[in-house]
Amino acid sequence: MFKTENHTKLLTDDKDFLEVEYPVMEHFYTIQGEGAHTGRASYFIRTAGCDVNCWWCDVKDSWEEEGHPKLTVGELVDAAKESGAPFVVITGGEPLLHDLLPLTLGLKSAGLQVHIETSGSSPLSGQLDWITLSPKRFKKPTEEVFAYVDELKVVVLTNKDLKWAEENAEKCPAGTRLLLQPEWETPKSIDLIVDYVKENPEWGISLQTHKFLKVP
Ligand SMILES: C[S@@+](CC[C@H](N)C(=O)[O-])C[C@H]1O[C@@H](n2cnc3c(N)ncnc32)[C@H](O)[C@@H]1O
Ligand SMILES: Nc1nc2[nH]cc(C(=O)O)c2c(=O)[nH]1
Ligand code: SF4
Ligand SMILES: [Mg+2]
């Protein structure tokens, strides 16, 4: 659990936080396809804007903020609440490019748990119940994020990524879920990951199951 300090005023006196706007590429009710919560119904909010530039990124349309609508916290909270989802996953783009305090306070006030998918390359903000860190060599995570990580999910294409996974795991708290996720377009990474996990059973495998299920 991560909480930005000094949020009491926003939560109690200042209802204007419901009017704060975020650039949003899409928001939808689906099944969490990846990681420790795979298979669970969840509401996704995909903010626009990313400065990490992973060449294999599967949502490149999220990189530019421009061209995506701005939605208020109130609109996003209403949509998530109406869906009936028990938790919301904030993803992107890189969601930590935005101050997530207003959005996460809105969601928490509505009784929703808040998860985040992040590269951790910009400062943490908001109230976050579950942090999935997917670190990238293209723009490294801040040192601060590691203390709060619940799940480390490293995309693997080659042996270099396994070494990168180990370096990041060393910085995570004991008990962090350690997961390797094959890059979707690189089938040979599967053999690499299977052999690695058999030899290093503290790691597990995360697959992008929504792509098999053909849901968003
Ligand atoms: C699109 S990113 C958005 C959130 C954040 N920018 C991040 O990278 O964590 C969501 C997740 O998809 C993973 N991902 C992106 N492209 C992928 C691909 N081609 N194959 C497998 N995983 C991918 C990312 O590593 C991350 O865990
Ligand atoms: N169903 C589904 N599960 C996901 N888990 C992480 C995703 C992401 O893009 O962050 C994602 C996504 O795009 N769809
Ligand atoms: S950090 Fe995430 S959204 Fe940004 S390019 Fe990499 S995978 Fe895509
Ligand atoms: Mg995705």
Give the alpha-carbon dihedral of 163, 145, 73, 28, to 10 degrees.
Answer: 20
Q: Is the pLDDT of residue 128 over 60?
A: yes
Using CB distances shorter than 6 Å, the residues near ligand 2 are 30-34, 91, 117, 210, 215-216
- In this prediction, residues 13-25 reach a mean pLDDT of 88
Q: Is the pLDDT of residue 7 over 80?
A: no
Are 141 and 119 in contact by the 8 Å Cβ rule? The answer is yes
Q: Where are the domains of the chain?
A: 2-153
| Residue 95: predicted pLDDT | 99
- Distance separating the N- and C-terminal Cα atoms of the chain: 27
Between the CA of 200 and the centroid of ligand 1 the distance, in Å, is 23
Minimum mean pLDDT among 8-17, 124-133, 156-165: which range? 8-17
Answering whether pTM is above 0.90, one says yes
| Residue 138: predicted pLDDT | 98
How far is residue 117's CA from residue 96's CA, in Å, rounded to a whole number?
Answer: 9
* ipTM summary value: 0.99
- In this prediction, residues 101-122 reach a mean pLDDT of 98
Q: Which ligand 3 atom is at minimum distance from the Cα of 59?
A: 8
Between the CA of 10 and the centroid of ligand 1 the distance, in Å, is 31
- Specify the fold of 2-153: TIM Barrel (3.20.20)
Q: Is the pLDDT of residue 170 over 80?
A: yes
Q: What is the pLDDT of residues 175-195, one digit of tens each?
A: 999 999 999 999 899 999 999
Q: What is the pLDDT of residues 33-69, one digit of tens each?
A: 999 999 999 999 999 999 999 999 999 999 999 999 9
Q: Which of 43, 210, 213 to mutate to test the pocket of ligand 2 (most atoms within 8 A of CB)?
A: 210
- In this prediction, residues 151-174 reach a mean pLDDT of 98
Higher pLDDT, 173 or 7: 173
How far is residue 28's CA from residue 31's CA, in Å, rounded to a whole number?
Answer: 10
Q: Which amino acid is at 137?
A: R
Three state DSSP letters for the chain = CEECCCCHHHHHCCHHHHHCEEEEEEEEEEECCCHHHCCCEEEEEEECCCCCCCCCCCCHHHCCCCCCCEEEHHHHHHHHHHHCCCEEEEECCCHHHCCCHHHHHHHHHCCCEEEEEECCCCCCCCEECEEEECCECCECCCHHHHHHCCEEEEEECCHHHHHHHHHHHCCCCCCCEEEEEECCCCCHHHHHHHHHHHHCCCCEECCCHHHHHCCC
Name the token pair of 206: 């995360």
Residue 137 marked as a ligand binder: no
Between the CA of 12 and the centroid of ligand 3 the distance, in Å, is 34
Q: Is the pLDDT of residue 11 over 70?
A: no
| Residue 125: predicted pLDDT | 98
Q: Which ligand 1 atom is at minimum distance from the Cα of 185?
A: 19
